Amino acid sequence: MGLLAVTVNWDFLLSRAGEVLIVVAISFAVLTVLMSLYRYQTLMERSSSEGEAAPRFPDLEGDPLRLMVARRVGALTDRSRHFGLLLMDPTPLAGEQLERLADGLRKHIRSNDDLAVSPDGRIGILLETGIEGMRRCIERLDRVIRREYTLTDGEGKLRIGAAACPVHGRNSKALIDNAAGALDEPDNFPSTPGRDEPEDAEEEDLAASDRAMLDPLTEVLRPDKVASFMRKFLGQQRRGTELALFFLGLNNMEEIEEFEGEEAADAVRKGLSDIMKRALREEDILGRFDADHFLVLLLCSQDAAPGVARRLHETVRRERVEWQGRRLQVSINIGVSLCPEHGKNIPRLFRAAHAAYRTAVERGGSMCEVFGHSSRQTLVN
């Protein structure tokens, strides 16, 4: 009986194998992008439906000042038990003049104090001090502004309102409202002391709404809050305002979870959020997109945004996260999109930033990419 001889053309198969691998790689990349966009759309729909269902405190979203105070209230359990809020009404300054004033004030507050600007142009400063320390700070800022700016009312007195936590409130809304009510008080503080304990269920709900904004691990905006917050913040900006959206992702998290465990991975996630909070301004919007990805929306010129992203990338590269006596290095990729060049709404900016992020990953990782730029710079090999 004869045997059937089969001849295999190995050259042909090998040439086709390369094509198959390319198709598989492209398909995987497309699937990854589609899944991420689907997740973003889901978060947008969820945040919209939540807002339509029960927007009890709609002013909470889109306000960096409110977010700053909410963060501090939420951190009272592991930080000092008191802090103060100074609220400044710099009317009629706006636009570049307001930004110049805010930048100038940052030079005259301590490194552990925070400053943010609300959409209506009020400047808030958080101080790690008690009431007497707040009075001294008001006097110092009054002297600085008299010397460097023309920003006083008809009687020549700077309009600053102050509120102390917990004396004048235990949630962001109560503290901001009390400070606003004290803008015209003779001694800058509310004429009626606040309560030491919440009076009713609504005040308890307000405190809970502060906590509900933030991710418990990283203390930045939660994944189901970040999209709607950024969308509202962008909608409050003047026409033509330049912004940038960063999409950041941690590298090698699967390896960290496999070899070091989930606690180490959470330490890296928390460490990255802490590094970014120190590196970014209080008015920059920082939120968690999913387990290992974050979004940053910041007021920034289109020319300056790439440099800001590179400096943030370099800062993260230099820092280390402490965990069980060890110092873990953090590695990230950043995708950058610019408003209005790459889009005038959050969905378009997100798609552009995510595409730039995918380019950074595909080109080897630990990179910073601006959407649509042909020149790319590797920051970390």
- CATH number of the domain residue 159 falls in: 3.30.70.270
367 and 346, same domain (yes or no): yes
> pLDDT truncated to tens, each residue of the chain (381 aa)?
444 454 545 565 556 666 656 666 666 656 665 666 556 555 555 444 444 333 333 445 578 888 888 887 776 654 455 788 999 887 766 677 778 888 888 888 887 788 988 888 889 999 888 788 888 888 888 887 777 766 544 444 568 899 988 788 878 888 999 999 988 888 888 876 544 444 455 555 656 667 778 898 998 999 988 888 898 888 878 778 899 999 999 999 999 998 889 999 999 999 999 999 989 987 899 999 998 999 999 989 889 999 999 999 999 999 999 999 999 989 999 999 999 999 999 999 999 999 999 999 998 888 999 998 543 443 333
Domain end, chosen from 163, 188, 213, is at 213
Residues 6+ apart with CB under 8 A from 119: 62, 63, 233, 236
Is residue 182 domain-resident? yes
Is residue 207 domain-resident? yes
75 and 190, same domain (yes or no): yes
Pairing of strands 332-339, 367-370: parallel
361 and 249, same domain (yes or no): yes
Is residue 7 domain-resident? no
Cα 134 to Cα 129: distance, rounded to the nearest angstrom:
7
117 and 229, same domain (yes or no): no
345 and 260, same domain (yes or no): yes
> Does residue 65 sit in helix, strand or coil?
helix
Domain end, chosen from 213, 231, 253, is at 213
- Report DSSP state, residue 340: T
190 and 150, same domain (yes or no): yes
> Does residue 126 sit in helix, strand or coil?
strand
275 and 295, same domain (yes or no): yes
DSSP assignments along 221-277, one per residue: B-HHHHHHHHHHHHHTSPTT--EEEEEEEESSHHHHHHHT-HHHHHHHHHHHHHHHH
* Residue spans of beta strands (DSSP E) within the chain: 83-88, 114-117, 123-127, 160-165, 243-250, 285-290, 293-299, 320-323, 326-329, 332-339, 367-370, 377-378
Phi-psi bin for 171: left (phi > 0), alpha (psi -120 to 50), beta? beta
Is residue 30 domain-resident? no
Domain end, chosen from 213, 247, 265, is at 213
Q: Which of 145, 135, 144, 121 has its CA nearest to residue 182?
A: 135
Helix axes 223-235, 10-53, angle to 10 degrees: 70
> Could you report how far apart the first and last alpha carbons of the chain are, in Å?
63
Domain enclosing residue 145, as ranges: 58-213
Tokens 């180490």 found at? 264
Is residue 16 domain-resident? no
181 and 247, same domain (yes or no): no
128 and 272, same domain (yes or no): no
334 DSSP β-pair partners:
248, 368
Biggest distance spanned by C-alpha atoms of the chain: 115
The total number of structural domains that make up the chain: 2
Is residue 34 domain-resident? no
Q: Are 225 and 48 in contact (CB under 8 A)?
A: no
275 and 142, same domain (yes or no): no
pLDDT, position 73: 77
Is residue 69 domain-resident? yes
245 and 185, same domain (yes or no): no
Q: Which of 268, 241, 259, 238 has its CA nearest to residue 332?
A: 268
195 and 259, same domain (yes or no): no
- The token pair at 187 is 């001694």
